Structure 1
């Protein structure tokens, strides 16, 4: 078991995975003591002026991975749906990421139009990646809870069962936030369960009790940073106090990490 995989097998101690979008954000999180860091596809896409989830950021994702992959922390990269529906093309991307030092990927079945890709296609992508790079941690994500279904539970279980059989090392269900549903799903899975932290959902301690193995922050930090930047500009305009903010030398030092 790789060091990154081992972080998903600590009962009662879920991996809290913050998500970065550039060198400085990753370096700041590493300096705070986070040994494993993910990337946020929304942050990468928005920073480049591109849409998220539309297979438009393959090169930006690779560029960021190459810059962060040797950063002294365990790096997991959000690759949307693999930027292709061809399993071999997705596997080729996984090989490039692994060469850059990436230890895990997040691979989703959601599409830009809000629908879900076929189970068989996504399972084939998972299997192709695991065949090409067995040591890469594949976190297979399903967006069933974001499709507006009245009862996404059965479809979620069906998809996760298929992804586990295909070799997924972990499974991710963003939007899953009800304690009972979380506990039920965690209890029936063989792979570690990853959920997205939500201000309306259980806290980290309760998620640990429910059997969650990994808690991701997704685009939260990127959106918080954007909000803080606008708030600071507004404060200067209105004469309100600004801060606290990192100093120039502190941020400059992040570039030397």
Structure 2
């Protein structure tokens, strides 16, 4: 088991995974003590002025992995749907990310039009990545809880079982916030379950008690940074005090990582 995989097998101690969008955000999180960092596809896309989830940021994603990979922390990359429905193209991407120093990849079955990729297609991507880079931790994500279904649980179970059979190391069900359903999935899936922290869902302690193995922050930190920038500008305009921020030298020092 790789060191990154081991972080998903600590009962009662889920991996809290913060998501970065550039070098400074990743370095700041590492300096704060986080051993593993994910990237956020929304943050990467928005920083480049491109849409998220539209297979438009392959180059930016690989570039960021090359900048962050191989450092003093474990890096897992949000690669949207792999930027392709061709398993060979997705596995080639996985090879590039692994060569850049990434130890994990997140692959989602959502499409830009709001539909879900057919189960067999997404499972083939997972299998291709595991065949090409067996040591890469594949987190197979399903967006069933954003698809508008009245009862997403049966379809979620069907998809997660297929992704497990394809070789996924973990599974991710964002926007699921019902504790009872989370507990049932933990018991049924047979793989580490990743949940996205949401304002209306269970907190970290409750998710730990439910048996969740990984808790992701997704784009929360990026969106919070945007809100803080706007709030700071508004405070300056209003002649009000501004909140604390890292000093110039502190930010410069991040470049040494």
> What residue number does 1:254 align with?
254
Structure 1 CA distance, aligned partners of 2:104 and 2:50?
A: 23
For structure 2, the residue ranges without an aligned partner over 5 or more in a row are none
Structure 1 segment 53-72 matched on structure 2, within 5 A:
53-72=53-72
Give the deviation of 1:234 after TM superposition: 0.6
Structure 2 CA distance, aligned partners of 1:105 and 1:31?
A: 23
Structure 1 CA distance, aligned partners of 2:233 and 2:19?
A: 24
Structure 2 CA distance, aligned partners of 1:184 and 1:99?
A: 37
Structure 1 segment 216-227 matched on structure 2, within 5 A:
216-227=216-227
Structure 2 CA distance, aligned partners of 1:143 and 1:28?
A: 30
Partner SS state of residue 194, structure 2: strand
> What residue number does 1:245 align with?
245
Give the deviation of 1:84 after TM superposition: 0.4
Structure 1 segment 141-220 matched on structure 2, within 5 A:
141-220=141-220
Structure 1 CA distance, aligned partners of 2:153 and 2:239?
A: 50
> What residue number does 1:30 align with?
30
Deviations 1:111-163 (A, max 9, x none): 11111010000000000000000000000000000011111000000000000
Aligned residues: 257
CA RMSD of aligned residues (A): 0.5
Give the deviation of 1:199 after TM superposition: 1.4
Q: Is 1:100 the counterpart of 2:74 in the alignment?
A: no
Partner SS state of residue 115, structure 2: coil
For structure 1, the residue ranges without an aligned partner over 5 or more in a row are none
Q: Is 1:236 the counterpart of 2:236 in the alignment?
A: yes
Q: Is 1:21 the counterpart of 2:21 in the alignment?
A: yes
- TM-score (normalizing by structure 2): 0.99
> What residue number does 1:111 align with?
111
Deviations 1:162-193 (A, max 9, x none): 00000000000001111001001101111100
Partner SS state of residue 24, structure 1: helix
